[in-house]
């Protein structure tokens, strides 16, 4: 059993509402490992992978990442909190604020005209980290990917009707745009979105 464990609250994670859960410290193992500090960190990033081919037919893959958010909360320091009487487990509840203007999880892979893969991914990850003393001591690190949704009160009744079965017509709306990192230069990417909409909901 690891010295630290993560237990997230049940239910969906919604933008604009905090990410809630608790970290469980096994004090017997924490003391044995000489763990000093435990904290949680929520990270959101965009990862971009682009493969190109030079005039000499050499394939080059470039990776780029853009930070969307990073929030860290300290939960425990050695000597400041102990388990309740009769237990060796210390629960550490936490709430991490989550903004409303962040993009949801996303993954897109496409082949370019030269059959070279381009990929973009938006991911959110919750880390629980326990630090040990010493420069070369490894950290205890729990990495939990998160799926985060936007809160949409308008679609709630529509979703209810769809869950009950929908036998009326559908309409597909399509939009396609080309985006460039900078106004006049830089790599560009095509975004093609298709949305199916139910009629007369």
Dihedrals φ, ψ of 146, to 5°? -120, 140
Q: Round the average pLDDT of the chain to a whole number and report it.
A: 81
pLDDT over 50 at 126, yes or no: yes
30-44, 58-72, 115-129: which has the highest mean pLDDT? 30-44
By C-alpha distance, which of 90, 181, 161, 103 is closest to 130?
90
CA distance 66 to 169: 40
CA distance 146 to 126: 7
Model confidence pLDDT, tens digit, residues 74-84: 999 988 888 98
**Cβ atoms of 76 and 92 closer than 8 Å:** yes
pLDDT over 80 at 194, yes or no: no
User: Over pLDDT 90: what percentage of the chain?
Assistant: 31
User: Over pLDDT 70: what percentage of the chain?
Assistant: 76
CA distance 46 to 66: 5
pLDDT-derived band of residue 181, with 50, 70 and 90 as boundaries? low
pLDDT over 60 at 172, yes or no: yes
**Domains and their CATH numbers in the chain:** 4-151 (2.60.40.840), 156-201 (no CATH)
At 201 the pLDDT is 47
| pTM across the whole model | 0.68
């Amino acid at each position: 059993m690891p010295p630290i464990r993560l237990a997230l609250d049940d239910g969906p994670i919604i933008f604009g509402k905090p990410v809630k859960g608790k970290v469980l410290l096994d004090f017997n193992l924490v003391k044995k490992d000489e763990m000093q500090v435990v904290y949680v960190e929520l990270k959101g990033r965009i990862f971009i992978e682009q493969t190109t081919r030079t005039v000499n037919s050499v394939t080059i893959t470039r990776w780029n990442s853009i930070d969307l958010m990073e929030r860290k909360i300290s939960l425990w320091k050695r000597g400041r909190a102990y388990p309740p009487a009769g237990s060796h487990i210390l629960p550490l509840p936490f709430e991490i604020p989550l903004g409303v203007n962040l993009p949801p999880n996303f993954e897109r892979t496409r082949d370019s005209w030269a059959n070279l893969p381009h990929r973009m991914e938006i991911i959110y990850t919750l880390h629980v980290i326990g630090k040990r003393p010493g420069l070369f001591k490894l950290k205890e690190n729990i990495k939990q990917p998160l799926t985060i949704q936007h809160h949409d009160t308008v679609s709630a009744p529509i979703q209810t009707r769809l869950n009950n079965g929908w036998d009326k017509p559908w309409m597909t709306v399509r939009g396609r745009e080309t985006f460039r990192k900078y106004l006049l230069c830089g790599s560009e990417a095509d975004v093609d979105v298709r949305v199916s909409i139910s009629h007369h909901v």
